[in-house]
Chain A
Amino acid sequence: MSCLACGLEVPSYARSCPSCGKDCGFPNVRSADAQDEVARLQSRVDAAHVSAKARGCFDELIEFGENVKTSKAVISRPLAKIHELLSNERTSYVSFQKEVNSGARQAEDNEFDKVRKQYEEALFPHFSAEIIFALLSLTEAGMVGYGTHTMTLKDKMIGHRSTVFEENPHNFVEKHGIVLNQPIPPGYRASWGSRHDLAMAKLHSRIDSATEKAHHANIIATDNGGSGNSDWIEVHIYGSINRNAIENVSGPKPKLKADQVIWQSIQETLKSLSS
């Protein structure tokens, strides 16, 4: 893109113009708003409408899309890690890569973390270290199978710098056969304000004439905990978050005493932050 202030070229990964320093917006949001992304997503939405009309569930699909407009970004984390974030305003939740780069965390000796950077770079070339990952949810419960405790994020803290993506990028890269630094095909991401379009394009086959509003939460984030087939829409947030971005923490009351203490501490902190 060209800088709106000086007209010179701004690299796709840069947040501000390297020539005049003008803030050019969040690179992930710019990517999602690019013309070919929007056009391709629209053609997927059109195909979804065609199928839904043919199956007699067009109204149900539209209702689903409307409901998705109210969805939130949630992050499931172990109770202990949520407590760490909430206990101090100076503590930030940053990307895995930033944690590793800062020395706060070591890349685990497993193949999964080794390929992680690979697909994160495919999605966000040269700025993947800036992105943190959440998922889209219509409830505050998150994915029961994947993390018993879930942080719900405040729209006003993340919406302007967030984009949504079709699914877990690792699954996406495998499913689409994206190899050797090939770019991600257009049509599978959207800005926060268009998350309902992505949801309809992706999930129309899950909607039928019997679909009711109560089913939407399970359609947008299908939790097959224990079966290995869970599926969701990812939220990619540029930059870090701290406790001020957390609206709520949900999950069952822990069974073990130490975890109950942590839970109690979390609840008290949330209460004091909201007052």
Chain B
Amino acid sequence: MEAFVSGQAARVVFVEGMDVSYIEADDPKRVLKIRHTDIHAILGGASDVERIIVDKHEDVFGRLLEKYNFDRCFRMLDIAVSDDEGTATRISAAEAFSEIALDSRTYESIKNYSLACYNSDIHFSNEIADLFKGNQFFLDFLSELVECQIHILSFDEALKKSFASNQIDQDVSAEFRHRAIDTGLFRKVVEAKRDGNKVEDAVLHGYLDLQDISSSRLILQGWTKQFLAQKSKRSLKQLESDFESYSTSDYQPREHDERNRYQTYLAVQRQQDVIIEKLMAGEKTIARRFTGQMIKSQISSGDTEYAAKSLTKLATEARRLGLHSIELEWAKQATELAPEDGIAMGMLADTYLNLYRFPDAERAFTAAVKMGDSEFGTLGLARMQRMSGDPVGALAALEKIKDLQPHQSPHAIHFWQGYCGTLKDLYQLDEALSAIDEACKHFPNESSLMCIRANILFELGEFEASLEAYGNIVSLFPNESTPRCGKAWVLCKIGELQSALPEFEEVTKRFPNEVNGHIGRATVLRDMGKHTEALEAFIAATKKFPHSPATFCGIAETHREMGNLPNALSAYDKAIQRFELEIVARNGRANILKTMGEFQRALQEYDRNVKDFPYNLYALNGRADLLRRLGEYDDAIKAYDTIIDRHPKEGHARVAKSAILVAQKRFDEALELLSTDAPKTEDDWVGFHIRGIAALYQGEFDAAAKIFERGVSESPFYGKRHYFQSALAATKMRKLDFSGAASLLSNSKDPVSNLLLVHSLSELGRTSEAAQALDRVEANLGGALGLLHIELGARYKLTIGKCKHDEQWIFERESEAFLQAA
């Protein structure tokens, strides 16, 4: 892992993939987690941050202590010699200095620096001697420092002149000065001058120590020439020449024979297999350790480039297994080992993108462009724009690539996937279909493109064509799971649940490690009303795929459909605990609270979700839906309009807004928002239901009944069918057929149906049954339901209170309740 150590901040920040933590010098065993975005805050403007690679936290304790001691020693010196400080503080500072400087390393470092930096505050007087009289160590140090100030100043000025006369740029100057101080060169020349000794020995060491800095010899010569004795200049030249021969005779490249290389390759392959096994078994610590060993061994054999490739491969495996923190850690390490490797950089960029770390992804893709992989980088940047909610910008970027005949590029397939997907995001479905047809012409055997085509057909509402396309892909590529899953999902979404189930079952048998198949099967079982089997399937999937949030959310949703709301809430809590930033789980939890009548808590949850996911449709719709449910229609319309402005074809917001418009009796505006085509998708069926309620509101009972009857018999979605049944009952009640209504509502579970049942039974004189039905409905429902609860209880003397409204008012609230719940 990476460690960023600072003595000034007295902290170390550790970065291991997505996990970031820190420790403090005064309690190094207490590890505190932070976000990666807060690292600079933790290091708090420190200018001495050093990055090192360590295996465990303890490895860095020693370095932290060194840096801390060095920083504090210097500060204690400053405080002790400052006339602005109080006497007691100065004495304490000198004591602390002496204690810290007992450590020989700290002492050497502090001397290196203090004998290189001129300090005009440093002086020695009787007063000073008196002040620190009990601290001889400090007095000795200070007196030496005072003696050296004049020499420090002259060497400092000479160095500046050398930089100027040799026209050394600022970075090199800073590096040279830093290294001259850090290696003790500066201190040695100052000490030599103070003691009246020759500075030549120190200078010669300088040649060796600073040889890797460009123009170091020129700088050294310019810096020290005025301090050298005349007769020593010849021997200096001799030594310079010796140094030349030393530095050029050292390196002999290592040779590998091919056989050894092959053996090494096989060994690395085996090691990688073991690491992948460990990852699959969830043994992350061991996998990390083995990887560290393998990489060390590859680097020590001179195979740094291959070490980077190994890490990139392992990062890919980690991604496949959903271990994103490890993926990030290894992808980053690979780019550090091979900073010019475009593939490693691309992997890192992809990783950042999948983690939604856009600024980091942008930097990495831009780096890939600079490394010469301009198409990959540009494609990546376009993907990033698309994912960040700017499909228009992404499309513009992709159009530019399209003009360059992308089918001839090695990234052609990725281009077409991105291009067609972006058109689809923008609901330019006809253009998307033309583009994917062109792509399939260029790459007739590419199943991923064929699947995109089938999916676009589905989006176009060409369900039969979509199914046929998926079917063809399945027969051409029988060993691929994606087309099979695609076909099964189409069947599921168009309500062909009986056909979807065996398709998903086939996927789970043939591709047992494909999570999508398991989720699909469980979802279909739930949609069919087979709740116990669905629950079992989701629970089994969570065990097999613990990194998939959809499996955990599936359990919660199944409990919700079974009416077990506390269990559903608890299942969502578990999902959120595991996947803190999973918006589906967080909105699901809020939905349950809403269903439980806990509106205030639910709204609070939705608001929090909007805060954390400002552009997420689930979050935005959830908040708007709840405002609608509470009867805050104008505010709800504003909320839906915000969504529709951003996503003009977003189905849910349009349908939900139409429900409000019906409740406000703005029927024409409402119907304009609804599709006139035969309903297929869930949103279509909800819209169809709203159309029926609009008819009911307007007294068109036969038209309404026709719609609801069709919904009861044709809607493939179990969860939606009972709404049609209840609405049909409400229509019968409007025609005063309370007996027929009660019969339709006999198995009511939701509050709307139960209140309708209360009304019907009361009209039929079955008061005790009506009272029981009323008891099943929470009193604190709010909105139209809350008002109905009070009014029905009072009207039929089921509760204490006085009725306030007429029958027409009750009928309208019953219709409104459907619209609020739609």
Contact = CB atoms under 8 A, between A and B. Distances in A.
Chain A partners chain B: yes
Interface of A: 47, 50-51, 54-57, 76-81, 83, 87, 96, 99, 103-106, 108-116, 118-119, 145-148, 168, 170-171, 173-180, 182, 202, 204-206, 208-209, 225-230, 254-262, 264-265, 268-269
Residue among A106, A205, A262 having the largest count of chain B Cβ atoms under 10 Å: A205
Contacts of A50: 627, 632, 635
B40 A116 contact: yes
B384 A179 contact: yes
A263 B110 CA distance: 22
A108 B388 contact: no
Contact of B89 (A114, A255, A265): A265
A269 B387 CA distance: 52
A225 B88 CA distance: 35
B170 A115 contact: no
27 contacts: A54-B627, A76-B44, A78-B10, A81-B45, A106-B47, A112-B39, A112-B40, A116-B40, A147-B41, A168-B38, A173-B359, A178-B358, A179-B358, A179-B361, A180-B362, A202-B611, A205-B604, A225-B32, A228-B20, A228-B35, A256-B26, A261-B76, A261-B89, A262-B79, A264-B88, A265-B89, A268-B85
A265 B45 contact: no
B51 A147 contact: no
B389 interface: yes
Nearest to A51: B607
A260 B34 CA distance: 27
A171 B607 contact: no
Given A87-B82, A256-B26, A178 B33 contact: no
Contact of A146 (B2, B42, B356, B385): B42
Interface stretch (B282-290, B612-620, B708-716): B612-620
Interface in B1-45: 2, 4, 6, 8-11, 15, 20, 24-27, 32-45
A103 B615 CA distance: 41
Interface string B50-87: 01000000000000000000011101101100101110
Nearest to A109: B51
Interface stretch (B92-100, B440-448, B569-577, B696-704): B92-100
Contacts of A256: 25-26, 72
B481 to A, nearest CB: 30
Contact of B85 (A78, A179, A265): A265
Contacts, number: 212
B518 to A, nearest CB: 31
B179 interface: no
Interface residues of B, number: 90
Contact of B51 (A87, A108, A262): A108
Contact of B363 (A78, A114, A171): A114
Contacts of A229: 35
Interface string B424-448: 0000000000000000000000000
A51 B622 CA distance: 13
B352 to A, nearest CB: 9
Nearest to A85: B45
B467 interface: no
A111 B92 CA distance: 40
A228 to B, nearest CB: 4
Contacts of B44: 76-78, 81, 147
Contacts of A179: 358-359, 361-362, 381, 384-385, 388, 390
Given A78-B46, A177-B388, A225-B32, A258 B37 contact: no
A112 B20 CA distance: 12
Given A81-B9, A230-B34, 13 more contacts: A47-B635, A51-B604, A51-B623, A55-B599, A56-B600, A80-B71, A108-B51, A110-B51, A111-B363, A115-B360, A119-B359, A179-B381, A205-B605
B398 interface: no
B613 A175 contact: yes
A158 B40 CA distance: 22
A115 B49 contact: no
Contacts of B603: 51, 54-55
Contact of A103 (B36, B174, B363, B632): B174
A54 B34 contact: no
A135 to B, nearest CB: 9
Nearest to B49: A108
Contacts of A174: 37, 356-359
A183 to B, nearest CB: 12
A54 B630 contact: yes
Contacts of A47: 635, 638-639
Contacts of B174: 103, 106
Residue among A109, A110, A171, A260 having the largest count of chain B Cβ atoms under 10 Å: A110
A256 to B, nearest CB: 5
Given A145-B32, A179-B390, A256-B25, A110 B4 contact: yes
Contacts of A175: 612-614
Residue among A55, A76, A208 having the largest count of chain B Cβ atoms under 10 Å: A55
B608 interface: yes
A170 B45 CA distance: 17
A180 B381 contact: yes
Contacts of A230: 34-35, 38
Contacts of B79: 261-262, 265
A177 B607 contact: no
Given A81-B45, A204-B607, A265-B85, A257 B96 contact: yes
Nearest to A122: B359
Interface string B93-112: 10110011000000000000
